[in-house]
Structure 1
Amino acid sequence: MFQLLVVAVVLGAVAAVSVHQSTREFRDVAGQRMIAVAENLASTPIVRDRFADPFAAQLLAPDVDRAVALSGANVAEIATPAGLVTVSSDPSRNGRRLDLTHSTAIHGRAWFGDLDVDGVHGLAGQVPINDANGVVLAVVSVSQRYPSPWQLLSGAGERLLVYLGLGAALGLLASWLLSRRIKRQTRGLEIADIAGLAEHRDALLHSIGEGVVAVNNDGVITVVNDSAQLLLDVAADAVGRQVDAVGLDPTVAEFLSSGGDDRDVVIVTRTRVLALNRRAASSQGRGIGTVTTMRDSTELASMQGQLSSHKSVTDTLRAQTHEFANQLHTISGLVQLGEYDSVHHFVGDLTRRRAELNDAVTRHVADPAVAALLIAKTSLAAESGVALSITPDSRLSALHPALATDVITLLGNLIDNAVDVSEGSAAARVTVHLDDADGMLLSVTDSGPGVPQRLREQIFARGVTSKPDVPGGRGIGLALVRLVSVQLGGTVHVADAPLGGACFTVRLPPARLAGAVATGRPDRA
C-alpha cells in the first residue's frame, strides 16, 4: 500500500507539473490572442465611429459577436474608461461594471491578465480606443475562461496520458514484485511480526547469564548483551563500533577480532578470568562474522590457584617423605651394623640442618602459613637441584588467615615458576625477598633465561609462558598472580634480574591490606 501511495504521489506530481506547464502555455498564447482580437475589434471603422452612440449596443452587437465567434473567446465588450460596459456579446452585461483595476489599457497601453467576469475566472486582453491626441476614449476587452485541469492534460497531448498510464501500470507491477520479494525474504512475516521477533531476541540476549558478543566480518561489534557489558566493562554504545575502539582488554580485543576457526580459550584480564567460546556465524551459506560467549571463571580460577598451592605442598610433603624414608633406611642399616656413634652423628647432622632451615625462614617470616610454604618450597626446590633462599633483609609480620591465603597463592605461583625456569641452569638459584614495612613487597628472582621484552605484558595473560620446554605454554600461574594482585589493589611487573634471569615483583598498598585485616577477608575490587 505504501508503494502504491508512492506511485500515486509521483503520478500526481507529474500531472501537476503538466497542468502547470499547460496553464503557462495557455496564458502566454491565449493572452496574446485575446489582445490581437481586441485590437482587431478596436480598429474596426464602425466601432471607432459609433462606440459612443446611444444605440451602440444594437449597432455594434454583430461586430462583438463576430469577434467572439472567430476567436473562441467567451465574452467581448466595450467599456468607458470608467469601466461602464456599453457594448457586450452578453446583453445582460450592458450597463454593468468592467474591472479595470489592474489594466493598463486606461493609460493607453495594451494589457492581458486574469479577470473575473460574472464570477467566471478567465484570461482577458484589453486595448484602448484613443483619439487623435492619444486620449483614451474607450476600452475593448475580450476574455476567455481558463480550461479545466482535464482539458489541460488532454491538450498536452495523448502521449502524456499514455505515459501516465504506463507509469501507473509499471508502478503497480513493481510494487507487487517488491511485495513478493519482501514476503519471501521475511518468510511471510509482517512488520509487526518482525518487530516482535527482534524484541524477543533482544530480551533473550540481555536476560541470559553468559556474555554474548557478535562481531561482523569488518570487525564491528553488532551485539553485546548486558552480561558481556559487565564482564568486559564496556558501555551499550559499543554496538556499531570497531572492536579495538571500545576500550577492551588488548587480549580480549585480539581474540574477538581475529575471526578464524572455532575456539575455546581462557583469557585472564586485569580483573577477571574469562572462559570464551567463539563460533563462526553464517547466513544462507555465507559467513557473516563470529559469536563469542563468555563466562566469569574468576572464582573458579582462584580456587584452582589455591588447589595448585595445596598440590604443591602435597608434592613437597611427598618429596620429604621420600627423603625421610631414605634417611630412616640409612639409620636402620647403621643400627644393624652396630655403628651407634655414626647413627648419633647422622641424626645430629639432620637435626641441625633442619633447624637451620627452619630458623632461616622463621627469623624473617612471622606468619606460620607463609613460613611453612617457604620451608616446603625450599625442600622441593632442592629435589630439583635449585637452591631457594630468602634475602637477609626480608621481613614479614603475622597476617590475617584470609590475607595469608592470597600471599601463599602469590608466592607459591611465583616460586614454582622460578624453580621451573631455573632448573638446569648454570647457577640454579631462586631468591625471595619479603617486606611489609610500607604495604607489602614480594619479589622472586630466578636464574633462568629471563623474559623477553615483547612478552612482559603478555606473560600475565592467557596461556603465555616464557618456558621453551612447555608446548603451547601454561601461563595460568602468572595470570593468577596478576589477578590476585589487582583484586588486592596492587600491581605486578617483571624486569631483568641484576645477575641474569627474571625478577617478578608484587606490590600491595597498605590501605587495602589494612582493610583486608579489619574485615577478616581480602578487600577485593
Structure 2
Amino acid sequence: MNNPLRNFKLKTRMTLILGLMALMQTSILGVFALNYLYHSLEEQVAERALNVAKTIAVMPEIISAIELHDSQYLQPLSLQLAKTTNARFVVIGDSKSIRLSHPTPARIGQPMYDDEGDFNEPALLEGLAYVQKATGSLGSSIRGKAPVFDHSGEVIGVISVGFMLDAVDTITARYRTTLLIAILGAFLISVLIAFWFANHFKKAIFGLEPEQIGLLFEERNATLESIREGIIAINADGVITTFNRAALHTLNLQDKTLLLGKPIHSILPDSQMLKVLASGEPQFDEEFWLNGSCFITNRLPVRQDDNIIGVVSSFRPKDELDMVSRQLTKIRQYADSLRSQTHEYSNKLHTIAGLIQIGATKEALALIGQETENHQTLIHLLVAAVPDPILAGCLLGKYNRASELGLVLSIDPDSHMTDIPLHIAREQLVSIIGNLLDNAFEATLSHTGAGGAVSLTMTDLGNDLIFEIEDQGAGISPEDQERIFKKGVTSKDELGHGIGLHLVNTFLMRMGATVTIEPGENVGSRFTVYIPKNTPSIDRIIIEKVSE
C-alpha cells in the first residue's frame, strides 16, 4: 500500500508528524486538565454545601423552630442564610421530610424529593450527613444534607443546602477557552520547532531524502561486497561498524562470524587502526602478519569537521601482489632468456655447422658433448643433493640465468639439502635463495663483468639449514650492512630495485632465521643463512657483521 506521506518532502513530513504529535499530546493533556478541574470544582462545591448544611443544622434557633414547625420563622431565615452563603437554596424539612421552608413559598408543606426519589432517608433514618448530586424542583444541583438533632439526640429534621451546577460549568467553560488558546499556542510553537529541527536534520544528512539514503545504503553494501579487498571500519571507540565478505574470507573467519559491534583488538590484536585513530596519520601499503600470512593494508582516518570519528582499513594478501610481481618478472626474464639463448645457441649452431662443413666432425661432437655434459653434471648433482623439486628447479633456473649473464654459478658438489622440514614454506625458501643469488649475480657482474663466478654451498647437517652464497662483487661496507635489508635501499639508479633483500628480510623474520655478512676469501661478500629446522622462536632477523 502506498504511504501518502511519501508524496511529501522529508522536511514537510517531519513538520507534520511533530506538529500533529504535539497537538495530540496537548489535546490529551487539555481534556485531562478540564475533567480534573470539573471534578475538583464539584468536590469543592459539595464540601462547601455539606459544611453549610452542618452549620445550619446545629443552630439553636433552627432546632427550636423545627420542633415547633414554625415555617413563618424558618422561611425568611432560610432565604437570608442562602443569600449569606451564596447558596442557590436552603431548604428545611421536618422528621417526615415535609418542607418547612423553600425558595418557592407555594411548595412549603410539600414532601422533599428529587428526580432520583431521594426522600432524605440517610439523614432522617440513619442520622448521616451526605452529599448528593441530583435534579430537584429547582434544577440540577449539588446538595449537602445534614440531620437536625433535638436535645435528646433524636432526628427532628433535615437541612438541604444546594449549589447549582451551572456555576461549575461556567468556570469550566472559562478555563476551557484558556486551555484551547494554550493548546493552539503550543501547536504553533511545536510547528516552528519541528520546522527548525527538520532543517537541521536535513542539513545533517546532506539534504537527502530517506528513500535516497536507503538507495545509497544498498549501493554502499553492493559496492563493499564487490570489492575483492577486505574492508573493516571502526568508530571512535575502536568498535567495528562496517566490514565486507572479503574481510571474512581474507581473515579466514566463518561467514557466520559476527564482527559488527566487536572491538577491533578482539579480532586483530596487533591492528594499527587504533594507532591511526589516536594520531590521525594515514598509513599506506603497510605490511602485517596474521596466522602466518602477510597482508598489505591501507588505513585512513575518518574525519567529521576537525574530529576523528573512525578509521577505515583495506587489506589484501601480499601473496597476490607478489604473485603478480613474480609473474611479470618471470615474463621479462623469459623474454630476456629467450633472446640470449637464441643468440647463444644460434652462434653455437653456426659454429657446429661450420665445423661439420670443414670436416672437423670430432671437434663438433666434442662441442656438443661439452654442452650436454655440463648440464648433465648439474642435474645429477641436484637430483642427489636436492631432492626437493621446487628448490632444485630454482637452482637450475639460476644456473641458466648465470650462463646467460656470462657468469658461472658453482654449486659445491659436497652440498646436501635433503632434510627440509615441512613447516618451511618452499616458496619462501626459494625466494630467499633466489633473491640472494640474483643480488650476487648483479654484484659480480657490475664489478668483474662477464666471466665472474658465484659459489653456493648448502648443508642440512645439525639443527639448521645453512646456505652460503659468495660473490665477486665490490663488497659491502659495515654501514651498508645495517641498511641493505630495508625496503627501497639499493645501489642502483633504476626504479623497481631495493625489494629483493627486503623480501629476504621479511621471510627470514617469519622463519626465525639469521643471516651473516662477511668478506669473501679474495673479493666480494659472503652471505650465510641459518634457517632453524625446529619451530621458529624469534620474530626478527639478526644481522651479524664480521669484519676482516
TM-score (norm 2): 0.56
Q: Secondary structure at the match of 2:250?
A: helix
Whichever residue aligns with residue 204 of structure 1, its letter is: A
* 1:446–1:497 Cα contact (<8 Å) kept: no
Establish whether residue 151 from structure 1 lines up as the match of residue 171 from structure 2.
yes
Equivalent of 1:137 in 131, 135, 156: 156
Would the alpha carbon gap of residues 226 and 249 (structure 1) be closer, same or farther in structure 2, given more than 3 Å must change? Answer: farther
1:36 and 1:379 map into 2 onto residues whose CA distance is 124
Q: Which residue of 1 aligns with 2:362?
A: none
Q: Which residue of 1 aligns with 2:54?
A: 39
Whichever residue aligns with residue 433 of structure 1, its letter is: D
Q: Which residue of 1 aligns with 2:222?
A: 204
Q: Secondary structure at the match of 1:230?
A: helix
Establish whether residue 117 from structure 1 lines up as the match of residue 141 from structure 2.
no
Q: Which residue of 1 aligns with 2:265?
A: 244
Q: Which residue of 1 aligns with 2:512?
A: 494
Whichever residue aligns with residue 364 of structure 1, its letter is: A
Equivalent of 1:227 in 221, 246, 255: 246
C-alpha displacement of 1:132: 1.4
2:468 and 2:67 map into 1 onto residues whose CA distance is 131
Taking the TM superposition and a 5 Å limit, the aligned residue runs for 1:45-194 are 47-51=62-66, 60=74, 62-74=76-88, 76-78=90-92, 86=99, 94-95=112-113, 96-98=117-119, 106-107=126-127, 115-118=132-135, 124-144=143-163, 151-152=171-172, 154=174, 167-186=186-205, 189-191=208-210, 193-194=211-212
1:264 and 1:497 map into 2 onto residues whose CA distance is 26
Would the alpha carbon gap of residues 369 and 263 (structure 1) be closer, same or farther in structure 2, given more than 3 Å must change? Answer: closer
* 1:256–1:292 Cα contact (<8 Å) kept: no
Whichever residue aligns with residue 117 of structure 1, its letter is: A
TM-score (norm 1): 0.58
Equivalent of 1:260 in 275, 281, 284: 281
1:393 and 1:262 map into 2 onto residues whose CA distance is 41
C-alpha displacement of 1:68: 3.8
2:372 and 2:387 map into 1 onto residues whose CA distance is 22
1:72 and 1:384 map into 2 onto residues whose CA distance is 131
Would the alpha carbon gap of residues 7 and 408 (structure 1) be closer, same or farther in structure 2, given more than 3 Å must change? Answer: closer
Establish whether residue 433 from structure 1 lines up as the match of residue 452 from structure 2.
no
Alpha-carbon displacement from aligned partner over 1:372-424 (angstroms, at most 9, x marks no partner): 43355579899799987886472589xxxxx9xx9763431132356689999
2:159 and 2:467 map into 1 onto residues whose CA distance is 118
2:410 and 2:65 map into 1 onto residues whose CA distance is 141
* 2:276–2:301 Cα contact (<8 Å) kept: no
Determine what percentage of the aligned residue pairs are the same residue: 18
Would the alpha carbon gap of residues 233 and 13 (structure 1) be closer, same or farther in structure 2, given more than 3 Å must change? Answer: farther
2:224 and 2:160 map into 1 onto residues whose CA distance is 80
Q: Secondary structure at the match of 1:238?
A: coil
For structure 1, which segment, 21-30 or 221-230, has the greater mean C-alpha deviation from structure 2 after superposition?
21-30
Q: Which residue of 1 aligns with 2:361?
A: none
Would the alpha carbon gap of residues 396 and 268 (structure 1) be closer, same or farther in structure 2, given more than 3 Å must change? Answer: closer
Would the alpha carbon gap of residues 386 and 186 (structure 1) be closer, same or farther in structure 2, given more than 3 Å must change? Answer: same
Structure 1 gap ranges (5+): 325-347, 398-402, 436-440, 449-463, 483-490, 509-525
C-alpha displacement of 1:28: 6.8
Would the alpha carbon gap of residues 282 and 251 (structure 1) be closer, same or farther in structure 2, given more than 3 Å must change? Answer: closer
1:297 and 1:469 map into 2 onto residues whose CA distance is 20
Q: Which residue of 2 aligns with 1:362?
A: 383
Taking the TM superposition and a 5 Å limit, the aligned residue runs for 1:220-369 are 220-233=239-252, 237-247=258-268, 250=271, 259-261=280-282, 263=284, 269-270=290-291, 291-293=312-314, 298-299=319-320, 301-302=322-323, 304-305=325-326, 360-366=381-387
Would the alpha carbon gap of residues 172 and 68 (structure 1) be closer, same or farther in structure 2, given more than 3 Å must change? Answer: farther
Whichever residue aligns with residue 386 of structure 2, its letter is: V
C-alpha displacement of 1:143: 3.8
The alignment's C-alpha RMSD in Å is 6.2
1:105 and 1:200 map into 2 onto residues whose CA distance is 82
* 2:232–2:244 Cα contact (<8 Å) kept: yes
Structure 2 gap ranges (5+): 1-15, 346-368, 444-454, 471-483, 491-496, 518-526, 536-548
* 1:41–1:63 Cα contact (<8 Å) kept: no
Would the alpha carbon gap of residues 293 and 85 (structure 1) be closer, same or farther in structure 2, given more than 3 Å must change? Answer: farther
1:388 and 1:34 map into 2 onto residues whose CA distance is 126
1:122 and 1:502 map into 2 onto residues whose CA distance is 113
Whichever residue aligns with residue 159 of structure 2, its letter is: V
